[in-house]
Each structure stands twice: as C-alpha cells, then as structure tokens.
Amino acid sequence: MHEISEWYGEVVERAGLAEHSPVRGCMTIKPYGWALWENIQRPLDEAFKATGHQNAYFPLFIPLSFLAKEAQHVEGFAQECAVVTHYRIQTDSISKTVAPDPEAQLEEPLVVRPTSETIIWHAFKNWIHSYRDLPLLINQWANVVRWEKRPRLFLRTAEFLWQEGHTAHATAEEAMAEARQMLEIYADFVQRYLAIPVVKGRKTPTERFAGAVETFTIETLLIDGKALQAGTSHFLGQNFAKAFDVQFLNKENQLEYVWATSWGVSTRLIGATILSHGDEKGLVLPPYVAPIQIVVIPIWRNEEERTSVVEQAFTLAKALQQKGIRVKVDDDPQHRPGWKFNEWELRGVPIRVALGPRDLEAQTVELAWRHTGEKTTHPQDDLVRQAQSWLERIQVALYERAKARIDKQTYRVDSYPEMKEILESKGGFVLAHWDGTSETELAIKEETGATIRCIPLEAPLEEGTCVYTGRPSTQRVLFAKAY
C-alpha cells in the first residue's frame, strides 16, 4: 500500500466520495459519499428517536457575546472561530474587485457555528419553566465550521456535517445517565454498522470538551496505527444553565438550575470507515452502510448476448431489491468488464456478480467477495435466497478482522523507553500507568506526540507506577498518536 496519507486522499477522490472545494479546508461531498453519509445518518436518527429525542434546527450564526458567557467554552474554541463582521460588500466594475462595505459593519460580530451549546441554551431559557418541561431531549443535524489548520477530507475539515444532541434534566443523575446512554448508542452503532471496534472511556481534564464537567468518548485505531476519536458525549453539569440563567420550578416550587448534556458524531465516521477497512485496491465498505451492496455486471460479446444477459441481470437485481438489498446493474457499454471490476473494487462494493452467456446456460453466477478477493460460483437461485445472509457474514467478518488488527496493535507497557520506541516505530494503542497529573500528560505529549485518548471504562483497576514519573497509579490509560 502507498504511504497512507497519499493513499487515503487518492481513494476518497477516485472512489467518488468527495473532493476539495475552492475554499481551503472545505469539501464537496459527491453523490456516492452522500449516500454513504445517509446510511450512517438514518440508523443513528432512528436510535435517537427511539430513546425519546426530537430533531430541531438552530441558527448558523451566533452572537459573539454568547460565546463569552461560558469562559471555558470560549477559550476552547477561540482559535477555531470564523467571524462575520459585515453584511454587505462593495463592488468596483472597473477594477473588478469586491470588498466589505465599511458602512455595513455589524453592531455585534457573529460567529459561524463551531458548536451550538450557546445558541441552544439561549433558546432553552424560553422553553424550560418547570419540572414538567424536563427532560428536554433535542438533536440537531447541521454543519459546523472550525478553522482547521491541517485539513484532510472527512477526517479534519473547516466545515463538516454532524449531529449534536443537547439535553436538559432535573437532576445530575439523570443528565449523567443520558450522557452514558448516548455513549452506548454511539459505540453500538460504530461497532454494529461500521464494523469498527471501539474503546469506551473518559477523557482526562486536559482533553475534555470545553465547558464540560465530564467527557466520554469512543476511540478506535486505524490501519496506520493512529487513533481516532469517533464520537463524544458530555456531561455539562450546570455550567451552561448558569451562563444562560436556565432555571425551573421543581416539585417543591423552588427554582433550580437544570443539568445538561451534549453529544455528537460527524462525517469523520466516513474517514474512520475508510481507514479501518480499506486496502491497496481502495474502499472496503461494510454492507450495512455501503451505498451499493451488490453490483451485477453483465458480460457479452455481441448484441444478441447483450440483450439476454442484461435482461437476466435486471431480473436478478429486481429479486434482490425486493429483499431490501441495494443493487446496481452496470450495463454501461462504454467500458469493458475488466474496467468495471476494478472500478467497483475501488468503490468497495461488498459483492460483485458477473453474469455471462455461459452463466445463463448453467443458471449460475460468479461472485467476487470484496473483503477477501475470493471468487466463487453459485446457482442464481442461491444468490437471491442467500444474499442477505452473505452480507451479514461479511459485516461480521470485517468487524472480526478489524478487532484482530487492533488487538495486535495494542501494547501493555511498563517502561517509558519501551513506550517511546513503540509509538515511534509502530504506532498503535499503548496501555500504560499514569500518575493522574496534567503535567505528566503534557510532558509525554511533548516528547512523544501521543495523547491520553481515554481512561477506559471497562478496564480493571490495577495497582502500578506511572510510566513517566514512577508515582503510584491505580489504572492503565490509553495512549496513542491521533488524527
């Protein structure tokens, strides 16, 4: 495989997922990429609604003063904000130039949404009055802008798509339960639909979301040995409620500040999918989210053969579609079968079906399995009857393969020299003891480039000594270099 970053960019563009836009750090998502995003979005949206959440939409522009109301929040996003200062431009037809109109300066600058806590909590003040209004469970599908210095399609872009949940609760216990529930929904989705194993954990205070009391995360490890934060869920305490004066009358008729959460995943999940399963031929897409699950390629030598094999190809496709399978027949006469085979391999379609005149006579099809490269011949009736179970098996196989890779790339380390050597030469997850101080965390980051990805929720307590300082430690944490 090529050097990973070069391979990644080539695959994203050649497979028709996305391309760079004229604005640095922004991308145009093409139809195939959008279909993949829709297949991620749909089951997530269903899971949110099944747990009582409702979708809403909030403004793209946020008054600058709103961000200043929560000190940690504004500090966390200050370096990434895009700011609107004018509402009109001047044009000069002679010099063909445009510039902001100095007479059209806004009274207050507007920040282009980097995240929506502030504008949403401004609205929640009007929506919440008593305990009867709680819990308030809101989700938004939207775009956000964070001025990215080192952009990469899907993984880090100045503008990206995501969902952001925002909830308000009567008690801290309810809010914490909500934050944990959403973490479980994310972990289940990423593992079940994207076939990507994850580690669930808590972020250290240094790595928490700006303004959060506690941040929960799901972390995965990609084929290049780098970690990726795949989703986060935050317990916000009463920070935003106090900043925006959101109070409610409890059952004793007393005023209290509400308790809050926020949580989100983004188009970064597409990048995670590419870099969890891809190979030298291109994408390898899990069947549950693949825009096309089966592609049927009719093969012919003359017009008579073409008519018969194309007709049967569409007959098979219709039968598969009736079983809920996403199918495409590629009968484009402009390209030869070999070109089509390569193209659909590049695009990661789980099963490729070849159908020629001999297959018509024998009532068979040749299948190519994208995840293994294996080719097998089956009766056409078996294709229709067993396709769904085959796709299920591919889904499981991709997860198991990714899990085996991550297990192999996870190291338990007890000495700092060994930790540095692994991070430098191999990458991967490093489970090591940490003394719990931000000073040690920062020193390790500066010397190795690795951060504490999380404090694993399911890891056992274990007495030990910090890999860096030798001070006592009660649990191993997960270090890695990351995107």
Are 304 and 267 found together in one domain?
no
Are 50 and 144 found together in one domain?
yes
Are 346 and 209 found together in one domain?
no
Rank 68-82, 99-113, 311-325 by mean pLDDT and report only the highest.
311-325
pLDDT of residue 154: 96
Residue 35 forms part of a structural domain: yes
* pLDDT bracket for residue 149 (50, 70, 90): confident
Residues 194/272, Cβ–Cβ less than 8 Å: yes
Of the residues 277, 304, 329, which one is the last residue of a structural domain? Answer: 277
Are 224 and 363 found together in one domain?
no
pLDDT of residue 151: 87
The CA distance from 91 to 88, in Å, is: 10
pLDDT tens digits, residue range 457-482?
998 899 999 999 999 999 999 999 99
CATH number (domain holding residue 225):
3.30.930.10
Are 223 and 183 found together in one domain?
yes
Of the residues 277, 306, 338, which one is the last residue of a structural domain? Answer: 277
In 64-217, which residue ranges form alpha helices assigned H by DSSP? Answer: 64-67, 71-77, 117-127, 172-193
Residue 397 forms part of a structural domain: no
The CA distance from 114 to 58, in Å, is: 12
CATH number (domain holding residue 338):
3.40.50.800
Range with lowest mean pLDDT among 66-70, 348-352, 357-361: 66-70
Are 334 and 442 found together in one domain?
no
Are 82 and 127 found together in one domain?
yes
Residue 177, domain extent: 4-277
Structurally, the chain folds into a number of domains equal to 3
Residue 399 forms part of a structural domain: no
Rounded-to-5 percentages of helix, strand, coil across the chain = 40, 30, 30
Q: Convert 375-421 into a string of H (helix), E (strand) and C (coil).
A: EEEEEHHHHHHHHHHHHHHHHHHHHHHHHHHHHHCEEECCCHHHHHH
Tokens (6 digits) for 38: 């829709």
Of the residues 277, 302, 333, which one is the last residue of a structural domain? Answer: 277
Are 362 and 473 found together in one domain?
no
- The structure's pTM equals 0.95
Tokens (6 digits) for 74: 């504004």
Helix (DSSP H) and strand (DSSP E) numbers for the chain = 14, 27
pLDDT tens digits, residue range 399-447?
999 999 999 999 999 999 999 999 999 999 999 999 999 999 999 999 9
CA distance readout (Å), 100 to 85, 87, 89, 94: 9, 8, 4, 17
Residues 241/168, Cβ–Cβ less than 8 Å: yes
pLDDT tens digits, residue range 32-74?
999 999 999 999 999 999 999 999 999 999 999 998 887 677 7
CATH number (domain holding residue 470):
3.30.110.30
pLDDT of residue 1: 46
The CA distance from 267 to 30, in Å, is: 13
The CA distance from 327 to 330, in Å, is: 10
pLDDT of residue 71: 65
The CA distance from 411 to 182, in Å, is: 28
Are 199 and 247 found together in one domain?
yes
Are 222 and 264 found together in one domain?
yes
Q: Is the confidence at residue 212, as pLDDT, over 80?
A: yes
How many CB atoms are located within 10 Å of the residue 297 CB?
24
Residue 140 forms part of a structural domain: yes
How many CB atoms are located within 10 Å of the residue 432 CB?
25
